[in-house]
Amino acid sequence: MPEIPDLEAIRGFLEPRLRENPVVGVDLTVPWLVRTGAEGVQGLVGHEFVTLRRYGKFLLFATDDEQLLVVNPMLTGRFQWAQASEKKRAGTCLTLRFEDGHELRYADARRMGRWYLVPVDSLMTVPQFEELGPDALEVDEETFLRRIRRHAGQIKSVLTNQKFIAGIGNAYSDEILWEAQLHPHRRRSTMDEDDLRRLYRAMRSTLEWARPILEAEVAEGLYQSNEEWRAHLRVHRKGGEPCPRCGNEVKSQVRGGSETNYCLHCQPLVLG
Ligand SMILES: [Zn+2]
């Protein structure tokens, strides 16, 4: 699932390419992908996107006629920026064609992603949006500390709770907790202020660390295959490999189809 560093890289790649490059065609092969405003999607033709922002796990494309195309790629949504002549990938659900001959294609193997087209002042009508906490790249340390005290449970679940803060998922929560040396199943209620401040700083430094790595990934082009950008991560999906900090074996636990990885030596489980 794309998280903040992935979506920031996509945003940074696309925004300059969309500017002054009007939409000349829309192919929507899976109409129910667009949950709100599907009937207006053809109305994008003739308009251009003036800004591309990210909030949490959503990308927000604002048009020159004050509409907002809101995209949550969920688990398997993938973007491709291609020349019209390039072969389309299987599972392409939506294609925006641009004046300069490029296409922004969206493929989604499990078709769980959600698109919405709403007036720019109606963002809060997008399901889930009103409930989102502050973006993890924007939230300041004191706000983070104040908000996290309302959540007593396992710290990995807290970090990935979009109502607490938005934009962190399964992969980067493992990375952040490894950086902060906190066990993913440790309860927030057992943590003192030093732990929580260390967690906040680890969150910021991990997201900043990943940024240039992912910018380099997309520099040559945006063609996200079904593999995500996860090779650079230090513990996530690295079960059985040595911890880059201490050399002990990285642990792997799979629950409900999602994997959690950590180093028990660097991240001891402290019970409350
Ligand atoms: Zn370790």
CA of 41 relative to ligand 1 center, distance in Å: 49
CA of 271 relative to ligand 1 center, distance in Å: 19
CA of 59 relative to ligand 1 center, distance in Å: 35
Q: Which of 113, 106, 137 is nearest to 5 (CA)?
A: 137
Outline which parts of the chain fall under CATH 1.10.8.50.
Answer: 141-262
CA of 245 relative to ligand 1 center, distance in Å: 5
Outline which parts of the chain fall under CATH 3.20.190.10.
Answer: 4-130
Per-residue pLDDT, 8: 95
CA of 241 relative to ligand 1 center, distance in Å: 11
Looking at the domain covering 141-262, what would its CATH class be? Answer: mainly alpha
CA of 65 relative to ligand 1 center, distance in Å: 52
Per-residue pLDDT, 13: 94
- Is the pTM higher than 0.75? The answer reads yes
Domain 4-130 has CATH 3.20.190.10: yes
CA of 248 relative to ligand 1 center, distance in Å: 6
CA of 267 relative to ligand 1 center, distance in Å: 7
Per-residue pLDDT, 88: 86
Q: Summarize pLDDT for 242-260 with one digit per residue, the tens.
A: 999 999 999 999 988 889 9
> Is 188 a residue whose pLDDT tops 60?
yes
Q: Summarize pLDDT for 59-111 with one digit per residue, the tens.
A: 999 999 999 999 998 878 889 999 999 988 888 999 999 999 999 999 988 88
Per-residue pLDDT, 225: 61
Per-residue pLDDT, 226: 56
> Is 133 a residue whose pLDDT tops 90?
yes
In this prediction, residue 168 has a pLDDT band, given cuts at 50, 70 and 90, of very high
CB 143 within 8 A of CB 165: no
Lowest mean pLDDT, pick from 187-191, 193-197, 257-261: 257-261
CA of 115 relative to ligand 1 center, distance in Å: 40
**Mean pLDDT confidence for 179-190:** 97
